[in-house]
A and B are shown apart, each in its own frame.
Chain A
Amino acid sequence: MDVITDHLGEFGDGLLLTAELTLLALAGALAAGIIVAAMRVSPVRVLRAAGMAYVEVLQNIPLLVWLVIAVFGLPEIGVIAGLFTTSAVVIALYQGAYTAEAIRSGINAVPAGQGEAARALGLTFVQSLRLVVLPQALRTVVQPLGNIAIMTLMNTALAAAVGVVELTAAANRVNLAEAQPIWIFVTAGLAYMALSAVFGLVTGGLERKLAILR
């Protein structure tokens, strides 16, 4: 157990970075998801196509490949940003594709009469989406969004491969010095479990609070 207590600082720094990366990526993913979902249900054909292209390109290439492309490929064309920034943006855009699909399924769950009524009242597309459809859609997809949040948390571990010293990379470094992989990685695993348990609790609470009984 000394292995863990001797390196609490490293584990703490890693955990903090994992939490920061997760929260930033989630905020970005939610924004990207809402925009892309709105594009995919919009009446403008070009927007629908662009939204679909976004989802298909992002979902059909593994996140690790995206990270490596962004970290080592972008500097080749003159775009160089910090490793943390690059990772946060890439994870946000990637998870944004999944978020968009979850939100779109929520939009499809809203009865068609709601949209028709909004239009009958004279609301524009954006108004009806913002005031009538999205509030109902988001409430129905709290649970899938919670799953995406947990998936985002787990996916931040891939940033370790491109030099971000988050929890997994921190555990790796401690193990390098101590050669006690079982204790060290079990500890890292427990920390991930604790974080995802928080997400699970928040999701459960939100769901109970927001659910609409139809």
Chain B
Amino acid sequence: MIMVRTPAGMRRAAVAAVAALSLTGLAACSGGDSGSAVPGSGGGKTDDLAASAPVASNLPAGSTMEKIKKRGELIVGGSLDAPLLSQQNPATKKVEGLDADFGRLLAKYIIGEPKVKIVNSASETREALLSNGTVDVVLQTYSITPERAEQVAFAGPYYSSGLVVATKKDETGIKAPADLKGRTVIAGANTPAIPAIKKAAPDAKILTFGSDPECVQALKQGRGDAYVQDQAILLATAKQDPSIKIQGEPFTSDPYGIGLKHGDTQMKQFVNDWLKKIEASGLWAKTWKNSIGTVVEGDAPQPPAIGSAKGSE
């Protein structure tokens, strides 16, 4: 009466039915995000960028750059899922965006060809990947901080972004970061938004999610009152999704650096010289136009002064 054993055939049929059911359930759930696949992808023009890019006249013997040239490709620690910065286009498999373009331009400068291999790094692993030589450089919205500068060398800053506050369209009570007081604020896990919110509104409750689409979804579902994220990322989101509104201008200054192996002053000097060169020639502005410039009105901003950020001296 107890130990009942179901015949194997029936069991298999039931398993199949259940699997089919759960699959349809999943398919129904995944519909919502499909619109956000490739926001504002510049596309197409990158090859023109690399074509007019400079190539270094001579590389010092025994330097890291020479080793990269011998290998024939630059290994970059970066993302594949950051819209406008470094996102893989699912149709062409090409990685597009500001960081991705700069990676190709740097490869062209060292090797003579824009040959880049992107190793998907995360904010937890970047320091380790640089110090053990898995990647040559990190180009991944890598904010320069004095703490990080104790473990890696930063060339640049090559771009200065900042955090902005986004809310649902009908929200009127949040105009500035100080208005976040006592509110629930959504932020990406492992982003500089977390300390920035703590500073602007110490008693705000911070809710973190792993990816940008998840944060946007949580904001739309009312899990939080506001979403604090990097301006470049939020601009792309707000442009795509009319139910999201950006409140005001960036309230932090967030200088991005190119992460290099700690102590490699020769390479740091080399990369800084390259940055100065492309900034002077107008290639920097063209690169900006090709990515972030596709969602921001107006001319390219003035690039930040090399070595200006604390930690990049």
Contact B2 A115 (CB under 8 A): yes
A60 at the interface (CB under 8 A from B): yes
Task: Kindly state the separation between the CA atoms of A60 and B14 in the bound complex, as whole angstroms.
Answer: 13
State the interface size on chain A (CB cutoff 8 A). 48
Nearest neighbor of B206 in chain A, beta-carbon distance: A165
Give chain B residues whose Cβ lies under 8 Å from the Cβ of A179.
127, 145, 147-148, 150-151
Q: Are B3 and A107 in contact (CB under 8 A)?
A: yes
**A48, A52, A173, A185: the one within 8 Å of B194 (CB):** A173
User: Interface-forming stretch among A125-133, A190-198, A205-213?
Assistant: A125-133
| Residue A163 lies at the interface, judged by CB distance under 8 Å to chain B | yes
Instruction: From B4, B128, B145, name the one whose CB has the most chain A CB atoms within 10 angstroms.
Output: B4
Cα A83 to Cα B210 in complex, Å, equals 14
Q: List the B side residues contacting A172 at CB < 8 Å.
A: 124, 189-190
Query: Which residue of A has the minimal Cβ distance to B127?
Result: A179
B22 touches A57 (CB 8 A): yes
Stretch at the interface among B162-170, B217-225, B296-304: B217-225
The answer to whether the Cβ of A41 comes within 8 Å of any Cβ in the partner chain is yes
Interface residues in B14-70 (C-beta closer than 8 Å to A):
14-15, 18-19, 21-22, 25-26, 29, 32
**Is B3 touching A163 in the complex (CB atoms < 8 A)?**
no
- Cross-interface CB contact of A49 among B14, B194, B214, B217, cutoff 8 Å: B14
CA distance A12 to B123 in the complex (A): 23
Is A175 positioned at the interface, with any CB of B under 8 Å from its CB? Answer: yes
Given known contacts A52-B11, A56-B15, A165-B208, is B147 in contact with A177 (CB within 8 Å)?
yes
Of A128, A161, A181, the contact of B128 (CB 8 Å cutoff): A181
Known: A56-B15, A161-B209, A161-B210. A175 touches B4 (CB 8 A): no
Task: Check: B207 CB closer than 8 A to any chain A CB.
Answer: yes
A41-B124 in contact (CB<8A):
no
Cβ-defined contact, B22 with A60, below 8 A: yes
> B125 at interface (Cβ–Cβ under 8 A)?
yes
In the bound complex, residues from chain A placing their C-beta under 8 Å from that of B14 are 49, 52-53, 56
Kindly identify which residue among B3, B26, B127, B208 contacts A112, using a CB–CB cutoff of 8 Å. B3
Q: Which chain B positions have C-beta within 8 A of A65?
A: 26
Point out the residues of chain B lying under 8 angstroms from A40, CB to CB: 4
- Residues in B neighbouring A41, C-beta threshold 8 A: 2-4
Chain B residues near A108: list those with CB within 8 A: 3
B189 touches which one: A52, A128, A160 (CB < 8 A)?
A160
Contact with A along B249-289 (1 / 0, CB 8 A): 00000000000000000000000000000000000000000
| Residue numbers in A under 8 Å from B218 (CB-CB) | 72, 163
8 A Cβ contacts from B105-141 to A: 123-125, 127-128
Q: Kindly specify which of A16-24, A73-81, A87-95, A148-156 makes contact with the partner chain.
A: A73-81
A52→B127 CA distance, assembly (Å): 47
Q: Answer whether residue B8 sits at the interface, using C-beta atoms and an 8 A cutoff.
A: no
Q: Which of these, B2, B25, B148, contacts A128 with CB under 8 Å?
A: B2
Q: Are B222 and A72 in contact (CB under 8 A)?
A: no
Given A163-B207, A176-B190, A177-B195, A48 contacting B6 (CB threshold 8 A): yes
Closest chain A CB from B212 CB (angstroms): 13
User: Is B1 an interface residue when CB atoms closer than 8 A count as contact?
Assistant: yes
Q: Does A145 contact B (CB under 8 A)?
A: no
Instruction: A2 to B148: give the CA distance in the assembly, Å.
Output: 16
Taking a contact as CB atoms under 8 Å apart, the answer to whether A80 and B19 are in contact is: no
CB pair A83–B223 under 8 Å, yes or no, is: yes
Most B CB atoms within 10 A — which of A49, A72, A115? A72
Asked if A13 lies at the interface with its beta carbon under 8 angstroms from chain B, I say no
With contact pairs A53-B18, A162-B209 given, residues A115 and B1 touching in the complex (Cβ less than 8 Å): yes
Q: Which residues of A contact B128 (CB under 8 A)?
A: 181-182
Chain B residues with a Cβ under 8 A of chain A: 1-4, 6, 11, 14-15, 18-19, 21-22, 25-26, 29, 32, 123-125, 127-128, 145, 147-148, 150-151, 189-192, 194-195, 207-210, 214, 217-218, 221-223
- Besides A107-B2, A161-B210, A163-B207, 11 more A-B contacts (Cβ < 8 Å) are A41-B3, A52-B11, A72-B214, A73-B29, A80-B221, A83-B223, A116-B1, A173-B190, A176-B195, A181-B124, A182-B128
Q: Please list the 9 inter-chain residue pairs (A to B) with the smallest Cβ-Cβ separation, ordered nearest first.
A: A75-B221, A115-B2, A179-B148, A56-B18, A73-B29, A163-B207, A161-B210, A179-B147, A176-B190
Interface pairs (29), CB distance under 8 Å: A40-B4, A41-B4, A48-B6, A52-B11, A53-B18, A57-B18, A60-B18, A68-B214, A69-B26, A76-B29, A76-B32, A76-B221, A80-B223, A83-B207, A112-B2, A115-B2, A115-B3, A128-B1, A161-B210, A163-B208, A163-B218, A165-B208, A169-B208, A172-B189, A172-B190, A173-B190, A173-B194, A179-B148, A181-B124
